[in-house]
Amino acid sequence: MRDNISDMLTRIRNGQKASLIEIPLFWPTPKICLNILNILTREGYIRGVKKQIFNNKVYFFILLKYNSTQQPTIKKIVRISKPGKRLFCKSKNLWKVSNGIGCFILSTPQGLITDNFGRLHNLGGEILCYIE
For residues 34 and 98, what is the distance between their CA atoms, to the nearest angstrom? Answer: 25
At 46-60, the pLDDT tens digits run 999 999 998 989 999
Written as one letter, the residue type at 63 is: L
pLDDT for residue 4: 92
Q: What percent of the chain has pLDDT over 70?
A: 99
For residues 34 and 49, the answer to whether their CB atoms sit within 8 Å is yes
**pLDDT over 80 at 97, yes or no:** no
pTM reported for the whole predicted model:
0.91
- Each domain of the chain, given as residue ranges in start order, spans 4-131
Decide if 53 contacts 59 (C-beta within 8 A).
yes
Q: Specify the pLDDT at position 1.
A: 58
Proportion of the chain above pLDDT 90, given as a percent: 77
The domain at 4-131 falls in which architecture? 2-Layer Sandwich (3.30)
Q: Which amino acid is at 119?
A: R
